[in-house]
Structure 1
Amino acid sequence: MPDVTATDFYNVENVVIGSNAISLRTVADKAKAEFDSVVRASDWLEGDVLDAAAELHRIARAAAQRNGRVAVVCGGETTVRVRGDGKGGRNQELALCFALLNELQPIGRPWVFLSGGTDGLDGPTDAAGGIVDAGSSDWMRQNGHDPIGSLENNDSYHALACSGDLLITGATGTNVADIQIVLMS
């Protein structure tokens, strides 16, 4: 093996072609073309998924006071405290929690919330995450699922599946963390 010295690396250039920040900037730019207001909720969403959902819901409720159509975007990677034996991932749990928080403190206008993994996978499931709206938890109950019990059992996959709210994209071949988007009309 040849000797390698520091001078061997003088002409090396690294170019970042994909990152969560680049993805979020692209989402925000696209949203600016369709929405009256775009809010960047966080540069990097992290910590417990329940806390993150509460913070995003608080930001969405505040953004809902703006005039016109509003988009709220953020990304990062949260963590899940496993308490049960259900099926799901951090994005599915974030979406389910967001829907339940809206029951307690409604956003006050029509909305849809997406939380998804850019790799197309979330936890040990075939889903990338979830897409919920103000009617999601009612659909779960109407289809025989208790969304609160599902959240407590870390069983967001089955709760979102019964309401038709799983985000299934298939593997994307890339991974630049997760993206969350709230759209309000």
Structure 2
Amino acid sequence: MSQTSSTAQRALQIWKAGVRAVDSETLVSRSIQVTDQDLTICGHTIPLQGHERLLVTGAGKAGSGMAAGVEAALRGSALADRTTGWVNVPADCVRPLSKIHLYPARPASLNEPTVEGVYGARQILQKMSNLQPDDICIVLISGGGSALLPAPLPPVTLEDKQLVTRLLMSSGATIQELNCVRKQISAVKGGRLAQAAGYRQLFALIISDIVGDPLDLIASGPTVADESTTQDALQVLQRFVSDPAQIPESVWSVLKSEQTPAHSQKPVRCATVFNHIIGSNATAVEAASEQALALGYEVYSLGSANEGTAADSGVELAELCMQLQAGTGPVHRPACILSGGEPVVDLSSSPHPGKGGRNQELVLAAMQRLWDEAISGFCILSGGTDGEDGPTDAAGGILDEFSLKRAHELKLDPALYLRDHNAYPFLAATDGLLKTGATQTNVMDLRVALVD
């Protein structure tokens, strides 16, 4: 943003404090301690005999920083020389590391499974199946892992899986519903990645990007025994798909077969698999709150479990700002409202949706609500903590009195852009895009609303 209010600058400062608190490299390096005698991971101590190999695998938008965190924790130790790894990450997160190979499993800003991702998943499965009895495996899991670690269950093809994923996303399915289906047509999700390691010691370090931090849903739970069933997946498809012919026959055949891995394979041995959440949206909200308090704001937190639609969330924040300015809000001015979670954009009513993401749509909906209001000294910022918002190069959007004024001067109609889910060009024209680049972490979205 070329011209911003001081309020918007403070909102960005608060948002960045939240993102820093979930820096993936720091979260991982703090979780691992090593000496010549033992390795400790999240409080679990493994005696070292001096010959064990450590394999590091995983997938997710935070995978690059997480892998760097492992290397930082092991640096200078004998175990570092016996460490190898392969982690699937977005292309813009690839960087050279000493021991762990970061593999570009999809292009930047394309949150869909790719041929490259399938190749990377097969490499990881092969490496895990080659583990020896004394070897140790660390799996690094973060948001975006579902798309970055695709291994369609035959006869389902990658194209079949992509079609189903797009169809469910465009129909307004929640991440939980989407993952339910993806797990049932995958060779790695729903605990099947852990099965590839046999009964070795496996430690999953997880950065959560889902409301409530459900282990079985984050990246579709590759190290967590699947509690959903093929029947659950069938019900999701039947709820969102009016014409069964839209779903490939291969998907129906896998889901209707009694010979799927959910029925035929042994469950994950929980005694040898340890899953630990090391960072979440609540961590980011807490850090943002501390920064806001340090800047002199009274804080009203809506917590980390906010879902619903992006447009409704934007209206809610706009109305809270109006209440605060009028002196009828839940706290006194200067006030900061914090909100975490992940709303959705329902594209089902728009045959040709435009360009944008949920955070951009949320900010545009807030602008529409405030369009005819006399409000100043405020800011509403909504951004994905991963630095990505939909298939765009923006993390989200920022609304303040300057961007609202620019929209009026340009005679833009927010209602038209909202109707077409086309927030990106609107915010680009009003200098309201939030661009951060990849942040190497991912704990859903963080929203900061200020009223001075």
The normalised TM-score by structure 2 is 0.37
Q: 1:104 to 1:141 in 2, by over 3 A?
A: closer
Q: 1:31 to 1:7 in 2, by over 3 A?
A: same
| Residue matched to 1:77 | 342
State how far apart, in whole Å, the 1-side matches of 2:270 and 2:420 are: 53
Instruction: Name structure 1 gaps, 5 residues minimum.
Output: none
State how far apart, in whole Å, the 2-side matches of 1:60 and 1:182 are: 7
Matched, 1:131 2:392: no
Give a deviation string over 1:54-89, Cα, whole Å, max 9, x none: 222233333332544111101100011222421000
Match of 2:381 among 110, 114, 125: 114
Contact 1:35 1:71 in 2 (8 A): no
| Residue matched to 2:371 | 103
Q: Which amino acid aligns with 2:412?
A: H
| Residue matched to 2:413 | 146
Q: Which amino acid aligns with 2:441?
A: T
Root mean square deviation, CA, Å: 2.2
Cα shift at 1:130: 0.2
State how far apart, in whole Å, the 2-side matches of 1:102 and 1:19 are: 31
The normalised TM-score by structure 1 is 0.86
Contact 1:119 1:174 in 2 (8 A): yes
Contact 1:100 1:137 in 2 (8 A): no
Q: Answer with 31-40 or 171-180: which moved more.
A: 31-40
State how far apart, in whole Å, the 2-side matches of 1:109 and 1:134 are: 6
Q: 1:144 to 1:101 in 2, by over 3 A?
A: closer
State how far apart, in whole Å, the 2-side matches of 1:30 and 1:81 are: 33
2:431 aligns to what SS in structure 1? coil
Match of 1:90 among 337, 340, 358: 358
Q: Which amino acid aligns with 1:171?
A: A
The number of aligned residues is 181
Return the structure number with greater relative CO, CA threshold 8 A, min gap 6: 1
Matched, 1:51 2:315: no
Contact 2:376 2:401 in 1 (8 A): no
Q: Which amino acid aligns with 1:125?
A: T
Q: 1:43 to 1:138 in 2, by over 3 A?
A: same
State how far apart, in whole Å, the 2-side matches of 1:138 and 1:148 are: 16
1:183 aligns to what SS in structure 2? strand
1:43 aligns to what SS in structure 2? coil
Contact 2:285 2:303 in 1 (8 A): no
Give a deviation string over 1:125-151, Cα, whole Å, max 9, x none: 000000011342431242353222111
Q: 1:80 to 1:67 in 2, by over 3 A?
A: same
2:279 aligns to what SS in structure 1? coil
State how far apart, in whole Å, the 2-side matches of 1:101 and 1:142 are: 17
Q: Answer with 164-173 or 127-136: which moved more.
A: 127-136
State how far apart, in whole Å, the 1-side matches of 2:338 and 2:381 are: 10
Q: Answer with 63-72 or 165-174: which moved more.
A: 63-72
State how far apart, in whole Å, the 2-side matches of 1:6 and 1:76 are: 29
Cα shift at 1:178: 0.2
Contact 1:99 1:134 in 2 (8 A): no
Q: 1:104 to 1:45 in 2, by over 3 A?
A: farther
Matched, 1:42 2:303: yes
2:312 aligns to what SS in structure 1? helix
Cα shift at 1:35: 2.4
Q: Which amino acid aligns with 2:353?
A: D
